[in-house]
Amino acid sequence: MGAVFEWQNRYVSRSPLGPEAAAARWNAFYNDVLKNFVYYTVPVIVLNKETPKEAVCTVFEKVNTGGVVLNVFELLTATFAADDFRLNDDWAQRKIRLGIRPALQDVENTDFLQAILLVSTWNRRKEAYAHLAADDESVLPGVTCRRKDILSMTLAEYQRWAESVTQGFEWASQFLAREKIFASKDIPYRTQLVPLAALRVVLGTSVDNHEVNSQLRRWFWCGVLGELYSGAVETRFARDLEQVPAWIAGGNSPRTLVEASFEASRLLSLRTRNSAAYKGVHALLMKHGAPDFLKAVEIDMAQFFDLHIDIHHIFPRAWCEQNGVDRARRDSIVNKTGLSYDTNRSIGGRAPSSYVTTVENRTQRSPEEMDRLLRRHLVNAQHLRSDDFESFFDDRLEALVRLISEAMGKDVARDDRRDPGEYETDEEELPAPEEVALADVPA
């Protein structure tokens, strides 16, 4: 207020209006304008050092409705800043490292924090178990990656595990590549990368042993094809990190394996990338060795990107519409496989019997060679050569059931005897945009 009165005195004493007129004008300005600022009441929420961090998180979420929503990463950034550590800068460098790998381009900072907390709390539990006086595991600290628990992470814990977890994510991209998942859009569940990276940290280099890697692949595919990693999955992450290493060491099967199930009828409703299992079946087919029809090369990372491999119809949409094939079967993953952009253009909307001949002529491939190539896609070539969609569909469905059963290490439930049109799905029933654009392009 002192500065205000000093300003007032200078104005009144120096105004050409004279002292009385100047004072009257000043009073009007003060009452109508300045007073609103001087006596403006600002709401304040006091957060002292004793305020729990989860309460701070809630306050920011509720009060900050007009600005950018703050997540646990921003809140932890503010917490670490008190210790002169710039969390955002550290993550930015790690994001660059992860981002050069196509499969990891969508990994988020909260995914990274979850993986660190999983590893940190797993290690806390392990150390506490080593000093357990009585045989009572209920007193041991739990493995967790819940939101409120991330806020309790210390800077020392972050710095201890950040590099190991970064390497865990980098290893996860290599694991995915071996399973023929190369791009982030093709990862069935981005969330499953969190426990996968954490498992790499706690299991160490043993993850690359043949037997251990086989068990991890089974766990991975049970999660994908059992569709277990959608929604709130923090509890499953924690269970996985406790149970998978114990299972690998000779213990009981983890709940992810026990709970995973796949019903054959699900193949009829897998129609778009909205489903993790849809992307999973696509990857399994490439892993089975399904080469591109024209190039006849098995798909690795270089070929995947160079040839623009994507999921396309085997019996083209246009042919199916002209021949009365119902939409449920036409757009099912059973009638799709991984093909290059050029191959899909060559197929166009023509009958399979026509485009198979075209491919043979363009590649100077014998019918026997073409038949062997199609078998790698789990396709009976004779059904394509005779344009027999029903026989093709039934035969390939059975082949896919066997492929899925092998990946999960358990039988597939047989419930696919109903009319596929009766099945409901929460997926968008239109084909993916690339299929609309290319399926009917003439050769």
**pTM for the complete prediction?**
0.80
Residue with the two structure tokens 């105004």: 15
What is the spatial distance between Cα 201 and Cα 212, in angstroms, rounded to a whole number?
Answer: 14
Q: What is the pLDDT of residue 424?
A: 39
CA-wise closest residue to 309 among 320, 294, 299: 299
Share of the chain above pLDDT 70, in %: 86
Least confident of 68-72, 278-282, 297-301: 68-72
Q: What is the pLDDT of residue 69?
A: 62
pLDDT, the chain, mean: 87
Q: What is the pLDDT of residue 37?
A: 77
Question: How do the domains of the chain map onto residue ranges?
Answer: 2-38, 97-259, 266-438
Rg of the chain over Cα atoms, rounded to whole angstroms, equals: 31
HEC profile of 77-109: HHHHHCCCCCHHHHHHHHHHHHHCCHHHCCCCH
Confidence of residue 345 (pLDDT cuts 50, 70, 90): confident
What is the spatial distance between Cα 194 and Cα 196, in angstroms, rounded to a whole number?
Answer: 5
Q: What are phi and psi of 17, to 5 degrees?
A: -75, -20
Taking residues 402-417, what's their average pLDDT? 88
The per-residue pLDDT for range 411-428, each reduced to its tens digit, is: 999 875 544 444 434 333
The per-residue pLDDT for range 142-170, each reduced to its tens digit, is: 899 988 899 889 999 999 999 999 999 99
Confidence of residue 350 (pLDDT cuts 50, 70, 90): very high
Is the confidence at residue 405, as pLDDT, over 60?
A: yes
